[in-house]
Copies of this chain bind each other. A is one copy, B any other.
Amino acid sequence: MHAATLPPDALRERAAYYERIGARNMTPLWEVLGALVPPQPRTPVQAALWRYAELREQVLEAGRLISAEEAERRVLILENPALRGQSCITQSLYAGLQLILPGEVAPAHRHTQSALRLVLDGEGAYTAVDGERTTMRRGDFIITPAWTWHEHGNLGDEPVVWLDGLDIPIVRFLDAGFAEKGEQQSQPAQRPEGDALARYGANMVPVDYQPRAAEPTRVFVYPFERTRASLQAIAQGQPDPHHGHKLRYVNPATGASPMPTIGAFAQWLPAGFETKPLRSTDGTVVVCLEGRGEVQVGDATWRIQENDVFVVPSWHGLQLRAERDMLLFSFSDRPVQQALGLWREQRL
């Protein structure tokens, strides 16, 4: 019998009971079971788009209001419209636009949160991870894995803006966050630039290297140039009807995702190609790196172009139409869901 149809006495009795057990920190499951165990995902996350052309000025304005040093990281968080105040773009992921001005340093720190960086705008910045610097070029997929010392700087003469993606909500949810600030602003270089990529990223690894369980990749930069060349090469073959040409980044020492909490993907759609709709349980953040086109996420339809960022909530259909050759970067919590046996995908 549905509670709404109970006689008033029964309702009062239940209410009194709920109050009594509430005093003991107990509450009845049967009043919430449907919401707790829904027939399919009912995410609170909302489809949303951030058009870079409309945001660029606001991002640059942050450079006038606060220094990189004062901010530690001068970032505008992209907050999901349905989750304002929670510092997240999906329930499990954080995204933001970071600005670093010529001559600035975002000082060295480390934390158990894992991060990715994807330069959108400007040249001359670098990221250093555990004593090795990498020059940040547009589209490079750069990571600062959990508990690695990292800093950023801008050695050029123009502002640089990149997208940050972190697992902050995951680490907060699991109550497992640790952080430290470096004693110095900047860590001394211990290896020449390119060392990690040569040592771990050319389908070879050091002879005695055996990664620990859940160890993130030592390859902390996936150069855009190489990614783009690979996508163009495979684009000579047949596209997948739902994906076009889509690759996932891996840790070449394990085959796992570069970081255990965040999966990342690069996708190429030839001009004129339209994907069939697809949905999956991993809410995903997508960046348009090249080209332009139209995207449909659930009921929303947007035109997108370079540097636009949008979010596809869990179990929302996604459909893409490329007007020009389109290159998309995306990231999600897919490796978490796969490790836990929870990930599902449906081709519609």
| Residue of B whose beta carbon sits closest to that of A17 | B65
A344 neighbours in B (Cβ, 8 Å): 176, 178
Is A266 located at the chain interface by the 8 A CB criterion?
yes
Chain B, residue nearest A69 (CB)? B1
Q: Do A179 and B39 contact each other (CB < 8 Å), given the known contacts A73-B33, A87-B27, A252-B255?
A: yes
Give residues of chain A (278-333) contacting chain B, Cβ–Cβ below 8 Å.
281-283, 313-315, 333
Residue numbers in B under 8 Å from A206 (CB-CB): 246-248
* Copies in the assembly, this chain: 4
Surface stretch bound by B, among A53-61, A122-130, A155-163: A53-61
**Which of chain B's residues have a CB closer than 8 A to the CB of A168?**
36-37
CA distance A75 to B260 in the complex (A): 35
Flag if A50 contacts B24 (CB, 8 Å).
yes
- Closest residue on chain B to residue A71 by CB atoms: B30
Closest chain-B Cβ to A81's Cβ sits at a distance in Å of 5
State whether A29 touches B146 (Cβ < 8 A): no
Closest to A222 in B: B203
Which residues of the other chain, B, contact A178 by a CB distance below 8 angstroms? 38-41, 344
Given A26-B55, A32-B87, A202-B227, CB of A250 within 8 Å of CB of B253? yes
Q: Which residues of B contact A192 (CB under 8 A)?
A: 233, 236-237
Asked if A72 lies at the interface with its beta carbon under 8 angstroms from chain B, I say yes
Q: A26-B78, A230-B199, A252-B255 are in contact. Are A173 and B176 (CB under 8 A)?
A: no
On chain B, the residues within 8 Å of A72 by CB distance are 30, 33
A25 / chain B contacts, CB cutoff of 8 Å: 48, 50, 78-81, 84
Judge whether A187 is part of the interface by a CB distance below 8 angstroms.
no
What CA separation (Å) do A73 and B29 show in the bound complex?
7
Max chain B C-beta neighbours (<10 A), residue from A78, A202, A205, A281: A202
Q: Give Cα A219–Cα B249 distance, bound, in whole angstroms.
A: 15
Nearest B residue (CB) for A179 = B37
Q: A260 touching B29 by the CB < 8 A rule?
A: no
- A243's contact among B169, B207, B237, B338, by CB below 8 Å, is which? B207
Question: A215 at the A/B interface (Cβ < 8 Å)?
Answer: yes
Assuming A207-B247, A339-B340, is B172 touching A71 (CB within 8 A)? no
Report which of B41, B76, B198, B230 forms a contact with A233, defined as CB distance below 8 A: B198
Task: Report chain B residues within 8 Å CB of A26.
Answer: 50, 55, 58, 76-79, 97
Whether B179 and A38, one on each chain, are in contact in the complex, defined by CB atoms closer than 8 angstroms, is yes
A135 adjacent to chain B (CB < 8 Å) = no
A200 CB, nearest partner CB in chain B, Å: 9
Contacts of A78 in B (CB 8 A): 25-26
A-B pairs, top 10 by smallest CB distance, nearest first, are A214-B341, A175-B314, A198-B233, A252-B252, A29-B75, A204-B247, A30-B71, A43-B175, A198-B230, A176-B281
Contacts A28-B62, A41-B178, A174-B281 aside, 20 further interface pairs with beta carbons under 8 A come to A1-B70, A25-B78, A26-B55, A28-B77, A29-B74, A30-B74, A39-B178, A45-B175, A146-B342, A175-B281, A195-B234, A197-B233, A198-B234, A203-B226, A205-B250, A207-B247, A207-B265, A213-B341, A252-B255, A253-B255
